[in-house]
Structure 1
Amino acid sequence: MTTTDAPAGAPYREVRDRNGRVYRIGERDRDILGRPRWTMVLLPWVGMMGISSSEYAFTSAEDTLHDAHLWSSGHIFWLLGVWVFFQAAVGFPAGKLRESGRLPARNAMMLGALGTFLGYLSLAFAPHVAVAYIGFGAFSGMGAGLVYATCVNMVGKWYPERKGGKTGLVNGGFAYGSVPFVFLFTAYLDLSNYQVVLVSVGAVLLMVVASAGWFFKDPPKNWWPEHVDPLSVSDDPRIRRALAKNPPAVKQYTPAEAARTPVLWMMWFCLLCTAGINIFGIAFQVPFGKDMGFAGGIVATAMSLKAIVNGTGRGVIGWISDRYGRRNTLIFVCLVLGSAQIGVLVSGTLQSLPFFLICSMVSGFGGGAIFPLFAAMTADFFGENNNATNYGMVYSSKLVSGLVGSGLGAVVVGAWDYRGAFVLAGGIGFFSAVLAVFLRQPGRPAARAIQPNPRPISREAM
């Protein structure tokens, strides 16, 4: 391990660990930001809440949009699928632009805020469903993708030593920020007011996202908090435990290097499966509950509870993964997600409202927990410097999962009914748990593969 002093006058120095990874230490968060770094958890959290309603509350407006525009239910589900497609598609190019310096974090947030507003504007006034596909599906989806990629990767850069809980908290805003709008669209949205309500919601969210994004700032490359020594064991038990269970990446992988590792594409496929189950639940829980005889208000409550637990679970699971390891936690989450799909089906078939609400919340927990796990795991495996692009590659699996979970999900429900669709979703969850077993940090040998030195150096011989 070596230390390299920075040029004279610089308030930091760079150190290297035994793997050659560089850490920039000596600068406090206040030196860079002018304020404490916890603000770069709070502001991304607010930004994420501002984009959540487009995914989690959209299907609550299904009946009104159908009556107002005469769009079929198939169009509603495919609109959500297209939104998810573009939200995921923008992640990789946005990451490249962000890390090259051509798209500052503040500009990305401003564009995201504008896209969110255009989405609601098109839902309110679209003269044809094609306009909704462009305005809501494409513009709102890309706007949400810009905000999502910027917020999630920002917090990981500011908390490289203990990113799981913080990433989970920020990621949680993507779910429970939608709760007021689920109730608003279910209880108050109708033919007499839908245009005013949708435009008003879009304008409010425009201001929320833009206001939060105005204060965004990235730390320097390789930055490490000055109170945590990256070359020695920390005195803080929380940091010591988190780094032991989730050691930093052996080096800062470029996107090209990360793409050459098999584990990145295993992560891509695992996220494809689990995100598809999550989107399937978002799209079909409300119509399934109504078909099973539950009142519309009850179904809206179930969806709200799902969103709340989805968001809360993202923060809790991040904290759990800091304690017990990202991979072990992911295996557990996949098993929970698969079991919950079977539970939703059984509870609806039995028309057991308490069981339905519980299974809905469990499904929300599992569906939400996967995203912060993969975001933190990508930084753990490939480093923070290029995490926006590397996670963009992993997150691009949502390009497919959105269309599979929503659009293709409608096809499966039509062919196999809800029973076959929910059983298939549960089986995919269990398969994902098996796949997660094989996810390991690239470049770091397994502990059992390290052979002891047959001739150790004795202190007495020195």
Structure 2
Amino acid sequence: MTRQQTAPRTAQAVTYVRDCYGRLHRVGETDRELPGPGGRRLVLWLAWGAMLGAGVLQYGFALTALPLHGARGTFAVLAVWTVCQAAAVPVAHLLRARRKAEPGGLVLLGGGCCAGALAIAAAVAESANPAGAGGSSALLVGYGLLGGTGAGLVYAGCTATAARWYPERAPAAVAFATGGYAYGAVLPLLLLLVLGLHGSAVAPVLGGVAGLSLLAALGCGALLRDPPEHWWPAGIDPRQWTLDRHLNRSLRHNRPPLWEAEPRPGAGSGTWRLLYAATALTSAALLFDLGRLAADLAAGPGTVGLWACAAFAAGSGLGRGAVGALAERFGRGTVLATALLLGALAQPGLVGAGPAAAVCCAALAGGGTGGCYPVLVGLLRGFYGRHGGQRAFALLYTAKAFGGAAGCALAAFVPGTGGTGTAAAVLLAAALAVRAARRPRPLLRLLPAAPTVTSTRTSSGS
């Protein structure tokens, strides 16, 4: 009997390399060798799944507004939700930066809050007088405060994790993950076509969505993990990726970042102010469209209004992926401004148009406004670097609180064509602000030292 020979084992140390701009990258590990659920593609799907339940609170707001019969207080609920959701994103980023929270914990906590908010909305819809003082107070606290905070925690945890697992294609990864934020509302809205457009049908739909949201948070949040700091996927040389336009096609129309910004990236610069204004203006138009569509459906229930609400959500989901992909190929600033322009052109068709035109315009408006956020991720990374871009996006997202509240007020007090005309002008101003933004100049600073390598990976050959 011959003795079986064991193949020699070789150990390869994890190393850190710098690209031509001095940025640090950790190389030597594949995504499947890292502790986690088994590959970054699965992580991306987990982030997408967790987003499904949280996004119903925004894009499925018509489910909550329908039993209220278009009462003006519904816009206050949406405004409170928007402010809380936008405020929770930078708080979550700060907790992660200080290592006080992990993405899985944020998703679990945020998903539980979202499920509770949807359950409260279901109870209000089932009550005898949902538009009364008790129902409005419950929605303001439960749906607005609790649900907005929960949705912000889920959004922040999923987007940052998707970007960290795909450092070479962060905008595309964020666009895919946030697509679930919009898609989650499509099926519940269309389910009302089967059950009927009345309050007694809304309550079981919201209750079912609350249960699914909780299951999604538990299942996805328990497995969601971050890669190691500065991790870069094996098989792609970060130094070549930074310079080779054939390998990295986005370099043909998007200049790479020249520096890593400090914790408060350019908050006093003209570029920052322009992008902050563009985010606030886009958020105002987005929340105006959501509020106006939900109020119109509640005031005069009909299948056209329901199809328009579902088309707006589906268009936003599709628009995020399409606008994100086109931005990497043809230039982020150009594509983002074009998407905002298309959203502005679609605004007049939301009111007074025929059924088919209204649905098409709703889908186009959703794609134009919803596609803004993932492209901003790439735009800020190109301005402030990988880590500086994450900090910049978290701070920039606070503009949604101001813009969203203004959009809800516009939907409440300026009905009809006057509101849609204002929303179109707002989107045109946002497009001009994006086109005027220029990459800030890098600051001279000392580069941080490379961390000490303490981990290795082993592989066996035959």
TM > 0.5: yes
- Give the alignment of 1:342-361 within 5 angstroms: 342-345=348-351, 348=352, 351-361=353-363
Counterpart residue type for residue 155 of structure 1: A
**Are 1:270 and 2:272 an aligned pair?**
no
Q: Decide which moves more: 13-22 or 138-147.
A: 13-22
Q: CA–CA distance in 1 between the matches of 2:185 and 2:135? A: 26
Q: CA–CA distance in 2 between the matches of 1:235 and 1:249? A: 12
Counterpart residue type for residue 97 of structure 2: E
Q: CA–CA distance in 2 between the matches of 1:215 and 1:92? A: 23
Call closer, same or farther: CA 1:185–1:82 in 2, change over 3 Å.
farther
Q: CA–CA distance in 1 between the matches of 2:377 and 2:248? A: 21
**Are 1:404 and 2:410 an aligned pair?**
no
Q: CA–CA distance in 1 between the matches of 2:165 and 2:122? A: 39
Residue equivalent to 2:105: 107
**Are 1:335 and 2:341 an aligned pair?**
yes
Q: CA–CA distance in 2 between the matches of 1:21 and 1:261? A: 23
Cα offset for 1:113? 1.0
Assess if the C-alpha contact under 8 Å between 2:29 and 2:234 holds in 1: yes
**Are 1:121 and 2:119 an aligned pair?**
yes
Assess if the C-alpha contact under 8 Å between 2:286 and 2:366 holds in 1: yes
Call closer, same or farther: CA 1:155–1:238 in 2, change over 3 Å.
farther
Assess if the C-alpha contact under 8 Å between 2:288 and 2:410 holds in 1: no
Q: Decide which moves more: 323-332 or 352-361.
A: 352-361
- Choose which of 34, 43, 47 in structure 2 pairs with 1:44: 47
Assess if the C-alpha contact under 8 Å between 2:59 and 2:185 holds in 1: yes
Assess if the C-alpha contact under 8 Å between 2:264 and 2:392 holds in 1: no
Counterpart residue type for residue 224 of structure 1: W
- Give the alignment of 1:203-282 within 5 angstroms: 203-232=211-240, 239-282=247-290
Q: Decide which moves more: 300-309 or 236-245.
A: 236-245
Q: Percent identical across equivalent pairs?
A: 28
Cα offset for 1:167? 1.8
DSSP 3-state at the match of 2:265: helix
Call closer, same or farther: CA 1:248–1:151 in 2, change over 3 Å.
farther
Residue equivalent to 2:326: 320
Q: CA–CA distance in 2 between the matches of 1:287 and 1:190? A: 14
Residue equivalent to 1:440: 438
DSSP 3-state at the match of 1:232: helix
Call closer, same or farther: CA 1:380–1:233 in 2, change over 3 Å.
closer
* Deviations, residues 155-183 of structure 1 (Å, cap 9, x unaligned): 11111212232221111111111101112
Assess if the C-alpha contact under 8 Å between 1:64 and 1:190 holds in 2: yes
Residue equivalent to 2:26: 24
DSSP 3-state at the match of 1:24: strand
DSSP 3-state at the match of 1:30: coil
Assess if the C-alpha contact under 8 Å between 1:99 and 1:386 holds in 2: no
Call closer, same or farther: CA 1:444–1:332 in 2, change over 3 Å.
farther
Q: CA–CA distance in 1 between the matches of 2:389 and 2:322? A: 22
* Deviations, residues 321-367 of structure 1 (Å, cap 9, x unaligned): 1101111111111111111112334xx2xx42222222122111102
Residue equivalent to 1:458: none
RMSD: 2.5
Residue equivalent to 2:173: 166
Q: CA–CA distance in 2 between the matches of 1:191 and 1:21? A: 55
Residue equivalent to 1:452: none
Q: CA–CA distance in 1 between the matches of 2:24 and 2:149? A: 34
Q: CA–CA distance in 2 between the matches of 1:273 and 1:139? A: 25
Runs of 4+ deviating beyond 6 Å: 234-238
Q: Decide which moves more: 179-188 or 141-150.
A: 179-188
Structure 2 unaligned residues grouped into runs of 5+: 1-10, 125-133, 444-462
**Are 1:55 and 2:58 an aligned pair?**
yes
Call closer, same or farther: CA 1:49–1:165 in 2, change over 3 Å.
same
* Deviations, residues 306-332 of structure 1 (Å, cap 9, x unaligned): 211210110111111110111111111
Cα offset for 1:206? 0.8
